[in-house]
Chains A and B, each alone.
Chain A
């Protein structure tokens, strides 16, 4: 039970998701993402990209098909195994999900506390990940005292504490202005340069076009395009 550094870090084989009674979220999706890749998943609202992202962290289960993460078949993952999966995939969402009554330091440390990590490991890890996202000077501020971009970087820092092999960012720049967006994308590129696989789910044309990385385009629950150095092709 765990993620190995396989050639394919993420593998979707003929994945379909049907919501009762008959709403098709995803239709027969097959794709592979290699370890260390930076992949953008793009699509308009309702295309199925968030469903796909949620399947990576077992928040959604496929109706048909097979999902493997680093060689670990998580298609029918047991509920008690989900926390171990989530500790190995860092997750960043559009709505930050930070605890307002906790400081930056405490928010980041929280992810380690609930995993039962020792105080020493928390003391070592938190400053390190805050340095990676450039927030070491703001460790004792509360989320409300930070800009949107900085809050998102706190979330990224929290996602990094377990040294995940995959970082999944679902619309991380959705609530940010251009400046903050650029900051967050820079942090994601930096993390990717350390060797982590980054999956960026977005519908931000500028971001996708500036990255010049692999772009998987989804429409109507299907992959309609998958280009190694892609561009945003939707209207």
Chain B
């Protein structure tokens, strides 16, 4: 009962302080908001870079073109060997007839090509095979595997459309953004701690009379300290609420532009934030509460020692 009464009063005192120091609190909330926004930009860049890499990775494959007279047995052998490798994700075999069908379909409106094909007695196209690796790093291994003497002699050409340079570039950019983002976040976090510390010092100054009387009439240190710490937590929660709102509004507004930047592919930024919102908000709230509490604790502690 006593604990409940005291807790209730501590919350009421903290809420009154929060309202009374709203203007001073505004600056604190603003810096906390910047810190949170920079953390979320970092999270967004990470999510976007991973989905860009995934999109690029999906575009990588190895196309193998066989000489036209390759027998079905050799083609089957090549397919089953490549499929059996754990590094392979999929193998698609296109026979010479299927290749011709597709070619004709693709060029059905081109009379010159159709005429040229009609003049040929035999199918000029050979079979082909498209292989996808389960990981980007496995492509060099698959290229080596295609040198298998059981069917390598039938291979006319191989194209490895690797996008490796593009992937490396995306990785580099995201790494740089992550690096600078982390520095920026760290700077904002340090600012936040210092500003919360000072905001609580100012709160103590504006309430010095009340705090002095509290101590004089025998309020425990916890009773003096906790409302001020709670005050800091209120600032943090308000900043978190504003940051979350700002992020979702911004993302919803910019999502179509981001999609068009990715050639119509969904980079999944909005869905990433929606799907992980609970986890992100919880972690951010926890970290903010811990940082703000420690900062407020230190600010009040210095006062109480006097």
Residue numbers of A with Cβ under 8 A of B are: 57, 79-80, 83-87, 91, 97-99, 110-111, 113-119, 158-159, 161-162
Contact = CB atoms under 8 A, between A and B. Distances in A.
Interface string B196-214: 0000000000000110111
Contact of B219 (A57, A83, A99): A83
Contacts of A97: 209, 212-213, 216
Most-contacted residue by chain B among A83, A114, A118 (CB, 10 A): A114
Task: Name the 5 nearest CB pairs between A and B, nearest first.
Answer: A114-B219, A87-B218, A111-B217, A86-B218, A116-B6
Given A116-B9, A118-B5, A83 B221 contact: yes
A113 B9 contact: yes
A86 B6 contact: no
Contact of B218 (A84, A98, A118, A119): A84
Contact of B217 (A79, A110, A118): A110
Given A113-B9, A116-B2, A116-B5, A83 B220 contact: yes
Contacts of B1: 118
B220 A111 contact: no
B15 interface: no
B218 A116 contact: no
B191 interface: no
B223 interface: yes
Contacts, number: 60
Nearest to A90: B217
A114 B217 contact: yes
Contacts of B209: 97, 99
Nearest to B214: A114
B218 A162 contact: yes
Interface of B: 1-2, 5-6, 9, 209-210, 212-221, 223, 304
B221 to A, nearest CB: 6
Contacts of A117: 5
B5 A99 contact: no
Given A83-B218, A115-B220, 8 more contacts: A79-B304, A80-B221, A83-B219, A97-B213, A114-B214, A118-B2, A158-B217, A162-B217
Contacts of A79: 221, 304
Contacts of A116: 2, 5-6, 9, 220, 223
Contacts of B5: 116-119
A80 B220 contact: yes
Contacts of A113: 9
B9 A99 contact: no
A84 B1 CA distance: 19
A79 B5 CA distance: 23
Nearest to A84: B218
13 contacts: A79-B304, A83-B215, A83-B219, A86-B217, A98-B213, A110-B213, A110-B217, A114-B214, A114-B219, A115-B219, A119-B5, A161-B217, A162-B218
B221 A115 contact: no
A119 B2 CA distance: 10
A84 B216 CA distance: 11
A99 B213 contact: yes
Contacts of A161: 217
A86 B216 contact: yes
A114 B223 contact: yes
A117 B213 CA distance: 17
Contacts of A158: 217
B217 to A, nearest CB: 4
A70 to B, nearest CB: 16
Contacts of B216: 57, 86, 91, 97
A145 B155 CA distance: 103
Nearest to B220: A83
Contacts of B9: 113-114, 116
Contacts of B212: 97
Q: Taking each of B209, B210, B216, which has the highest tally of chain A beta carbons within 10 Å of its own beta carbon?
A: B216
Contacts of A99: 209-210, 213
A167 to B, nearest CB: 13
A99 B210 CA distance: 7
A115 B218 CA distance: 7
A47 B232 CA distance: 43
Contacts of B2: 116, 118
A130 to B, nearest CB: 16
A170 B2 CA distance: 32
A83 B215 CA distance: 7
Nearest to A108: B217
B166 to A, nearest CB: 64
A148 to B, nearest CB: 18
Contacts of A86: 215-218
Nearest to B2: A116
B10 to A, nearest CB: 9
